[in-house]
Structure 1
Amino acid sequence: MSIFISKEAKDKAQGYWFGLLIPLLAGWGVSTFSMAALMSRDGPVSEMTYVDYFFITGWISGGLVVHPLCAWWVLLRAKIVGNAPCIKGAYMSIKLYILWIFFLLSMTIISFIWGE
């Protein structure tokens, strides 16, 4: 027994969640993988190699670069196909990205003001 009323409702829900979750999972996946690789390292920070710098770049760029680029790609793909629910999901993913950037900037500004 399906939780959806019709096949059309099921297709709309799948398109929306595809547009929303693919960018989020791609960004978080890159960040999580890079962080796991960095945490498995057993050396002092003063002995970092280029591979460590690569993983640090991946950790930071997962949420700041991969997520919005993937959302933009899904949005373009959905517009070409004409998948309206996927377009809405991709726009929601971009809105969540903007909210995340606003949160990061506000916490940085607050810490700077408090002197931490």
Structure 2
Amino acid sequence: MSIFVSDEAKQKFQGFWFGLGVPIFGGWGISLFSLILLTNKNLGIAGNPYSPMTHIVTILWMSGHLLLWPLLSWLMIRRAKKSGNLHCEKGSRLSLKLAIAWIAFIVSVGALQALSGGA
């Protein structure tokens, strides 16, 4: 038994994690970067809550993990199907399933909060 990893196994591993990681890090990266911009008082965005820049950054903050993550997963699935990369497609499908679970969690928490008379 060899202690070295074959090139085929390495390709499968890299394809799967590329398909899983790119959508997640893309969506959450935009969300976290926008949140940092919103909370940093030195940039002037947090000082004026009614400026157009604050609205744009807030939209990016919300859309990063709720829209961009599933959209990138879907695009990666289409790209993997065209190229025939089965492992990238599997990773992207898992990323899409995680995104749907995350959206369901956000919606259910919001619904429970609204039903309990919260903000």
Query: Given the two structures, how large is their TM-score scaled by the length of structure 1?
Result: 0.89
Q: Are 1:102 and 2:84 matched, yes or no?
A: no
Query: Equivalences for 1:14-93 in 2 at 5 Å?
Result: 14-41=14-41, 42-45=46-49, 48-93=50-95
**What are structure 2's unaligned runs of at least 5 residues?**
none
Q: Structure 1 CA distance, aligned partners of 2:47 and 2:53?
A: 13
Percent identity for Structure 1 against Structure 2: 41
Q: Deviations over 1:20-45 (max 9, x none)?
A: 00000000011011111111135153
**What are structure 1's unaligned runs of at least 5 residues?**
none
The number of residues matched between the two structures is 112
Q: Structure 1 CA distance, aligned partners of 2:94 and 2:4?
A: 22
Query: Given the two structures, how large is their TM-score scaled by the length of structure 2?
Result: 0.87
Root mean square deviation of aligned Cα: 1.5
Letter in 2 for 1:81: S
Asked which structure has the greater RCO (Cα within 8 Å, sep 6+), the reply is 1
Q: Deviations over 1:57-100 (max 9, x none)?
A: 00000011111111111111111110000000000000001100
